[in-house]
Amino acid sequence: MSNTENNSSSGLRRPELWAIPQHNITATALDAKAEVLYERLKTIAAEHQDVRFATSLAAEDMVVTDAIVKSGAKISLFTLATGRLHQETIEMTAQVQKHYGVSIASVAPEAGDVDAFIAQYGLNGFYDTEEAKKACCGARKIKPLNKALVGADAWLTGQRREQAVTRSDLPLRELDDARNIAKYNPLFDWTEPEVWAYLQGKQVPIHPLHFQGYPSIGCEPCTRAVKAGEDIRAGRWWWLQKDSKECGLHVK
């Protein structure tokens, strides 16, 4: 008996999950969009001495990774190894390095910072309050990001305007005033269908959790699959209000 029949016979119906969106973007339109992205990256690299890209290995970040490699832009890659990532993300890092022949630096939190958080809030205390959630992200993501960007004069993100209400006015270039360096969002004007058209059309490695209903991927305990029709960031810190769906990496 199939799973669907099993669910029906027991009176249960599994909710339909988010799925990779279909698109009708032509190869010509996709190539034109890609060329703009490649030129953006080359211009950014030419204007700075040391540019770094923070990748989560999720969809948007894989577009940027592929574009960095194909454009030849001198931009180094790193990922924040928070200690709470999905195993699929850890394995994806190795896959991407092998696929592109690039090195992705892994930046981990300081053990003392993690221990201090756990002592004050408990291992999973981020579920209890907004304060605790910010403290966990501070220890596992923000402090490691600060360390990862020492010596850099610019960094890149995979943010898009469409992703959240907090990103609706996202520019291509902004000042990271916390670190006093330039910050670029090269996909700021990309749509979700364009992201997936690029990944599929350019045969870019895709994070396995995207095939399991995860449109957005972060730490394992703070990320879940979402139902079809839900906001694409509904699975991030789902116990919080919609305007709290940021970890602090991108909040001024």
Does residue 237 contact residue 133 with C-beta atoms inside 8 Å? yes
Active site residue 247: yes
Beta bridge partners of 233: none
Does residue 77 contact residue 52 with C-beta atoms inside 8 Å? yes
Beta bridge partners of 79: 106
What is the DSSP secondary structure assignment for residue 75, as one 8-state letter? E
- Catalytic residue, chosen from 137, 219, 222, 247, is 247
Q: State how far the Cα of 96 lies from the Cα of 100, in Å rounded to an integer.
A: 6
Handedness of CA 55, 58, 63, 67 (dihedral sign): positive
Q: State how far the Cα of 203 lies from the Cα of 100, in Å rounded to an integer.
A: 12
Q: Point out the residues that are catalytic.
A: 247
